[in-house]
Amino acid sequence: MGLKKNAAAVTKEPKAAAPKPGKERTNSLLYSQKLAPYLFVAPFVLVFAIFYIYPVISSIIMSFQEVIPGQTHFIGLTNYKRLFNGDLGQAVLNSVIYTLLSCAVVVPVPMLLAVFLNSKKMVGKNIFRSVFFLPALVSIVVAGLTFRLIFGEMPTALLNNVLSNFGIKPIKWLGGPAQWTTFFALLVLCCWRWTGVNIMYYLAGLQNISVELYESAEIDGANAWQQFRSITVPLLKPTFTYVLTISIYGGLAMFLESYMLFNGNRSPGGAGLTIVGYLYRLGWEQANFGFGCAVGICLLVATLTINLVQLKISGFFKKE
Amino acid sequence: MRKTPKGIKTRKFSWTTILLLLLFVLLAVLILIPFYSIFLASLRPSTEIMRQGIGLDIDLSIMSFDNYRHLFSGQTKYFTWFFNSIKITAVQTVLTLLVSAFVAYGFAMYDFKGKNVLFTCVLFIMMIPMEIIMLPLYQLTIKLGLMDSMWGIILPAVAGPLPIFFFRQYLSGISREFLDAARVDGCSEFGIFFRIIAPLMKPSFAAMGIFVGMNSWNSFLWPMIVLRSSEKLTLPIGLNSLITPYGNNYDVLICGAVFSVIPIILLFLIFQKQFIAGMTAGGVKG
Q: Note whether B276 contacts A44, CB cutoff 8 Å.
A: no
Q: What gap in Å lies between CA A255 and CA A281, rounded to an integer?
A: 11
**Residues with Cβ < 8 Å from B64, sequence gap 6 or more?**
B43
* Residue of B133, B211, B268, B269 to mutate for A, most A C-beta atoms under 10 A: B133
Confidence of residue A316 (pLDDT cuts 50, 70, 90): low
Residues of B in contact with A131 (CB under 8 A): 28, 31-32
Backbone angles phi, psi at A73, to 5 degrees: -145, 160
- pLDDT above 70 covers a percentage of chain A that reads 88
pLDDT at A11: 41
Whether B37 contacts A161, CB under 8 Å: no
Whether B167 contacts B104, CB under 8 Å: yes
**Residues with Cβ < 8 Å from A85, sequence gap 6 or more?**
none
Residue with more model confidence, B49 or A9 = B49
Is the predicted pLDDT of residue A178 greater than 90, yes or no? no
Is the predicted pLDDT of residue B121 greater than 70, yes or no? yes
Whether B115 contacts B105, CB under 8 Å: no
pLDDT at B160: 85
pLDDT at A71: 80
Is the predicted pLDDT of residue A125 greater than 90, yes or no? no
List chain A domain ranges. Answer: 19-54, 85-319
Quote the minimal CA–CA distance from B18 to chain A in Å. 9
Using left for φ > 0, alpha for ψ between -120 and 50, and beta otherwise, residue A282 falls in alpha
**Burial category of A237 from C-beta neighbours within 10 Å (exposed 0-12, middle 13-18, buried 19 and up):** exposed
* B58 in reach of chain A (CB within 8 A): no
Confidence of residue A255 (pLDDT cuts 50, 70, 90): very high
One-letter amino acid identity for B166? F
Q: Region B192-212: what's the mean pLDDT?
A: 88
Q: Region B122-132: what's the mean pLDDT?
A: 84
Whether A41 contacts B103, CB under 8 Å: yes
Is the predicted pLDDT of residue A262 greater than 60, yes or no? yes
* Residue of A126, A129, A149, A252 to mutate for B, most B C-beta atoms under 10 A: A149
Is the predicted pLDDT of residue B6 greater than 90, yes or no? no
Confidence of residue A318 (pLDDT cuts 50, 70, 90): low
pLDDT at A13: 41
pLDDT at A249: 86
Is the predicted pLDDT of residue A225 greater than 60, yes or no? yes
**Residues with Cβ < 8 Å from B37, sequence gap 6 or more?**
A146, A149, A150, A158, B54, B55, B56
Mean residue pLDDT of chain B comes to 86
Q: Note whether A30 contacts B137, CB cutoff 8 Å.
A: no
- pLDDT above 70 covers a percentage of chain B that reads 92
Using left for φ > 0, alpha for ψ between -120 and 50, and beta otherwise, residue A315 falls in left
Is the predicted pLDDT of residue A29 greater than 70, yes or no? no
Q: In the beta sheet, which residues pair with residue A74?
A: A65
Q: Note whether B283 contacts A149, CB cutoff 8 Å.
A: no
pLDDT at B31: 95
One-letter amino acid identity for A317? F
Q: Region A293-316: what's the mean pLDDT?
A: 83
Of B118, B191, B221, the CB nearest to A255: B221
Backbone angles phi, psi at A74, to 5 degrees: -75, 135
Of B53, B139, B261, the CB nearest to A149: B53
Residues of B in contact with A127 (CB under 8 A): 28
Quote the minimal CA–CA distance from A305 to chain B in Å. 11
- pLDDT above 90 covers a percentage of chain A that reads 36
Q: Region B185-206: what's the mean pLDDT?
A: 87
Is the predicted pLDDT of residue A111 greater than 70, yes or no? yes
pLDDT at B1: 44
Q: Region A86-102: what's the mean pLDDT?
A: 91
Residues of B in contact with A116 (CB under 8 A): 20, 23-24
pLDDT at A44: 94
* B146 in reach of chain A (CB within 8 A): no
pLDDT at B83: 94
* Residue of A27, A54, A118, A145 to mutate for B, most B C-beta atoms under 10 A: A145
Lowest mean pLDDT segment, chosen from A2-11, B20-29, B45-54: A2-11
Residue with more model confidence, B230 or B91 = B91
The ipTM value here is 0.86
Q: Which pLDDT tens digit goes with each residue over A148-175?
A: 989 988 888 889 888 888 988 888 888 7
Residue of chain A with shortest Cα separation from B136 = A55
pLDDT at B285: 45
CATH tag, B72-283: 1.10.3720.10
Q: Which pLDDT tens digit goes with each residue over A184-211?
A: 999 999 999 999 999 999 998 898 888 8
Lowest mean pLDDT segment, chosen from A19-23, A119-123, B75-79, B162-166: A19-23
What is the distance in angstroms between the CA of the first residue and the CA of the last residue of chain A?
Answer: 27
pLDDT at A98: 95
What is the distance in angstroms between the CA of the first residue and the CA of the last residue of chain B?
Answer: 58
* B138 in reach of chain A (CB within 8 A): yes
Helix/strand/coil (H/E/C) assignment for every residue in A13-70: HHHHCCCCHHHHHHHHHHHCCCCHHHHHHHHHHHHHHHHHHHHHHHHHHHCCEECCCC
Is the predicted pLDDT of residue A237 greater than 70, yes or no? yes
Between β-strands A73-74 and A65-66, what pairing exists: parallel, antiparallel or unpaired? antiparallel
Question: Does residue A152 sit in helix, strand or coil?
Answer: coil
Quote the minimal CA–CA distance from B51 to chain A in Å. 8
- How many other CB atoms are found less than 10 A from the CB of residue B47? 13
pLDDT at A31: 74
Quote the minimal CA–CA distance from A207 to chain B in Å. 13
Q: Which pLDDT tens digit goes with each residue over B55-83?
A: 787 878 888 888 888 888 878 889 999 99
* B106 in reach of chain A (CB within 8 A): yes
Of A44, A122, A156, the CB nearest to B20: A122
Quote the minimal CA–CA distance from A219 to chain B in Å. 16
Q: What gap in Å lies between CA A154 and CA A120, rounded to an integer?
A: 45
Q: Region A297-303: what's the mean pLDDT?
A: 88
Is the predicted pLDDT of residue B43 greater than 80, yes or no? yes
Angle at B56 (CA atoms; ends B53, B62), nearest 5 degrees: 70
pLDDT at A8: 42
User: Residue A277's Cα: distance from chain center in Å?
Assistant: 15
Confidence of residue B286 (pLDDT cuts 50, 70, 90): very low
Q: Region A70-94: what's the mean pLDDT?
A: 85
Of A37, A58, A124, the CB nearest to B106: A37
Is the predicted pLDDT of residue A12 greater than 70, yes or no? no
Residues A85-319: name the CATH superfamily. Answer: MetI-like (1.10.3720.10)
Helix/strand/coil (H/E/C) assignment for every residue in B114-141: CHHHHHHHHHHHHHCCHHHHHHHHHHHH
**Residues with Cβ < 8 Å from A66, sequence gap 6 or more?**
A72, A73, A75, A78, A290
pLDDT at A2: 40
Is the predicted pLDDT of residue A4 greater than 70, yes or no? no
